[in-house]
Chain A
Amino acid sequence: MDAAIIPAAAFAPPPSLPAAAKRQRLDAAVVRRTPETLHPALWLGHQLGRTGAQTVASGFARLDAELPDGGWPRGALSELLLAHPGIGEMRLLAPALVATQREGRLVMLFDPPAALAAAALAALGFAIDELLVVETRNDSVWALEQALKSGHVGAIVAWLPQRLRAERLRRLQLAAHRHDGVAFVLRESAAAARPTAAPLRVALHAGGADRVQLHILKRRGPPLASPLELELPSVLSAAARRRSANGSAKARRLPAATFIDVA
């Protein structure tokens, strides 16, 4: 017989199953067809959002687990709220920004609140001479829009002025669609009371020496119930960390040398 002719028996329906087995197969079929299994971009309200978009790994595994799509979003604003600069925000953002620089893209900082120390940035892994600092006096929204719309900038970190109007932030979020890297906007803590157009909003608080507490206030998915504590790359030696951890009950801190005026 010719091998190409398939015997008719191969097309016969399978023999009928007992009723219990049939029901199990039906249940399995029903489970397989829930929304989040149908398509990678679908998610239910109690799950963490998935858009299938690319993200930049934040460098902290516990944070990546809580962020939708596993990292800082690309092409959208990520809003960080701080009470004052200097609670570890740069050490938190450093892994993502350094990764952008390693790819060869440009990182731009808009209106940093104080002078930057080149040695500290180099210690975190930045390439100092490939960083641009833009000082916008009153035109911060215009300058950010230009940088986001150009689409050639790798990562943007911007310190926005106080009490920014909501429609300006919305304009920036629309402009961010043409940007293909991360865009962080850092604002004052009081902005938490007002709604935002950014899809991710995180409030930062200092949680002790070299620790930062993150409250994820808005993300694609359910809000995070309890704050996330992250360990930052340390600037303290082990002894200093132990000293810090030994509670505030004792007055054991390092006594400073008393100043003796020999004049």
Chain B
Amino acid sequence: MLWVALHLPLLSLESFAATLAGRATEHGIALIDEHCIAAADAVAIAHGVKPGLKRATALALAPRIVLGQADAARDAEAMRSIVHAALAFTPSVSLQPATEPGSAADIVLLEVQSCLRYFGGSERLLERVRASIEPIGHSLRIASAATAQGAAILAHLEPSPLCTTLEATRCALVAAPVWLLGPGRAHWEALQGMGLRRIGDLLGLPRAGLARRFGETLLAELDAAFGRRADPREPIVPARAFESRLELFARADSSEQVLHGASILLARLVAWLAAQHAFVQRFRLLMHHETRWQQGDRTPRATALEIALAEPSRDSAHLLVLLRERLAHVQLPAPTLELALQAADIVKRAAPNGELFPTRQSEDEGLVRLIERLQARLGVGGVQRLCAAEDHRPERASALRSDAVARPSRSPRTSERAATADAASLPSALSCPRPIWLQQPEPLAEREARPLLDGRALALLSGPERIESGWWDDDVAERDYFIAEASDGALVWIYRARLPLSSSGESGWFLHGRFG
């Protein structure tokens, strides 16, 4: 059994930093616990702020520092995304229970013996684990050992040892300081007074005496760490539907701040999807607004933005682009305090193979993404296909439709269809030629029984073609169509209306289209 422990030493600080949503943090961040600094980031430490200082001292050293409080629920949310990222590598992932009550667990344990061969060795596996957790943005310490408890203890050391056998684990543990054991921290003064600083020192002592003095739990932990006692861990099963919340530190007034928070939630969604080997088809972003801005019951408490994808995807950059384009069109009624991302509609599929050269399939996928991006910005009606309808009236014979756009239809019959269309349509093209450009019928003036376009007489070349149709709905068309040549040489399609005219000023000639 090979256990890998992922320790996040700065979990609370980083999950607090995530809520800042991109605000300027060049003056440092620190966490406060009962007026004392509990944790500080590198910039704050450079200013001289250390854990243990009083709040007033810290503010005197770095006046522009941002202070916040640790929140166990927020930390647990952040840990969940790490767990999901780890689930992509092995199904046996569990959380090491927290040593202090009230703080969130910050060690994730993975049992990787069964999948070492698939990933090509432990070094490659650890590299891949590091690479997959990097987008989530937490600093990580990785240690490996032959026992779960041993790995959890060794993960606190800097630099973290990577032991693959039980002997190596025992050697590393023997040299580890004793306060890494849970009860060891509680009884630290007593142990120090007795001169027991390393775990190895405890091994030589009588077990009954240790149990009486420091409790059974110390012995149990020691045995589990050294592999003398079974230590079964319950693996974590990911939830069926994804739901994650992020409470922002300060209200978000601009869409950029909302997007920054949304990108963190999207990284968590992608980790959850990777754990399930699935792709998302639809997800929803809820923006909860400040209640102070509510005027009566008209202002909604939350704005929901639903994004549906034509092709299931797991690419966080693409999802963020779609979200950005949709958010640009939404008018938020009030500043946002909290973001929530929900996704229940997923599709389980094998990941597509990466391809070196463009193929038909990768081109189709690329086109689907392009159409999605265009539709996200221009609206669903922005991208349309042309459909021919069976109607003699020219303005109804073709229509633009946007619902059939999603997939570029690529049938192998295209070339045959085109060949037959060529052969069959040429005679019909001559018998009833249609112009490419159709416009709203524009009335033309008349002089000496000849229609005028832009003041010049049109010369009728071909016609008449009589179209009488549409008696079944209100749009009756009784027209004689002619092809005419304008003064500059362009061909236009005009018609003479055969119905009685509504107003007496009109001549009955209309311009309907141009031959492009």
Contacts and interface: CB of A to CB of B under 8 A. Distances in A.
B469 interface: no
B436 A116 contact: yes
Nearest to B373: A146
A132 B383 contact: yes
A106 interface: yes
Given A117-B394, A143-B377, A258-B449, 9 more contacts: A87-B489, A106-B367, A106-B408, A115-B438, A116-B398, A117-B436, A121-B436, A128-B398, A130-B410
**Chain A interface residue count: which class?**
35 or more
Given A131-B385, A209-B485, A253 B460 contact: yes
Nearest to A254: B460
Contacts of A197: none
B360 interface: yes
A261 B449 CA distance: 14
A165 to B, nearest CB: 20
B409 A130 contact: yes
A86 interface: yes
Most chain A CB within 10 A, of B369, B429, B491, is at B491
Interface in A91-108: 91, 98, 101-102, 104-106
Given A85-B516, A91-B516, A135 B378 contact: yes
A125 B417 CA distance: 10
B435 A137 contact: no
Contacts of B422: 125
A210 B425 CA distance: 18
A13 B388 CA distance: 77
**Chain B interface residue count: which class?**
35 or more
A117 B434 contact: yes
A135 B463 CA distance: 34
Interface string A201-227: 000011111110000000000000000
Contact of B516 (A90, A210, A243, A257): A90
A49 interface: no
Most chain A CB within 10 A, of B498, B513, B516, is at B516
Interface of A: 83-91, 98, 101-102, 104-106, 112-125, 127-137, 139, 142-143, 146-147, 150-153, 205-211, 234-237, 239-240, 243-244, 248, 253-259, 261, 263
Interface of B: 358, 360, 363, 366-367, 369-371, 373-374, 377-378, 381-388, 394-395, 397-398, 400, 404-405, 408-410, 414-415, 417-418, 421-422, 425-426, 428-430, 433-439, 449-451, 459-464, 480, 482-483, 485-486, 488-492, 496, 498, 500, 508, 513-516
Contacts of A150: 366-367, 369-370
Nearest to B437: A114
B374 A122 contact: no
A143 to B, nearest CB: 6
Contacts of A153: 367, 370
21 contacts: A86-B513, A86-B516, A87-B488, A87-B516, A88-B516, A112-B437, A114-B439, A117-B438, A121-B436, A133-B383, A134-B384, A142-B377, A143-B378, A152-B367, A235-B515, A236-B433, A244-B461, A248-B459, A255-B460, A259-B498, A261-B500
A104 B410 contact: yes
A88 B489 CA distance: 10
Given A137-B378, A206-B488, A236-B483, A116 B438 contact: yes
A117 B513 contact: yes
B364 to A, nearest CB: 8
A209 B487 CA distance: 10
B436 A90 contact: yes
Contacts of A119: 388, 397-398, 434
A235 B515 CA distance: 8
Contacts of B492: 86
Contacts of B367: 106, 150, 152-153
A210 B461 CA distance: 12
A107 B500 CA distance: 43
A237 B482 CA distance: 12
A62 to B, nearest CB: 19
B425 A122 contact: yes
B483 A240 contact: yes
A146 B374 contact: yes
B464 A257 contact: yes
Contacts of B437: 85-86, 112-117
Contact of A133 (B384, B449, B490, B516): B384
Nearest to B394: A117
Contacts of A134: 374, 378, 382-384
Given A86-B492, A88-B515, A120 B385 contact: no
Nearest to B508: A259
Contact of B370 (A115, A122, A146, A259): A146
A86 to B, nearest CB: 3
A121 B438 CA distance: 12
Contacts of A137: 378, 382
A222 B387 CA distance: 43
B370 A236 contact: no
Contacts of A146: 370, 373-374
B124 to A, nearest CB: 33
Most chain B CB within 10 A, of A83, A106, A235, is at A235
Q: Which 3 A-B pairs have the closest CB atoms?
A: A86-B514, A118-B398, A206-B489
Contacts of B370: 146-147, 150, 152-153
Most chain B CB within 10 A, of A87, A124, A209, A258, is at A209
A258 B446 CA distance: 12
A14 B377 CA distance: 76
Contacts of A210: 491
A236 B483 CA distance: 8
Contacts of A239: 462
Contacts of B366: 150-152
A120 B433 CA distance: 7
Contact of A115 (B363, B369, B395, B404): B395
Nearest to A244: B461
Given A125-B421, A257-B496, A205 B488 contact: yes
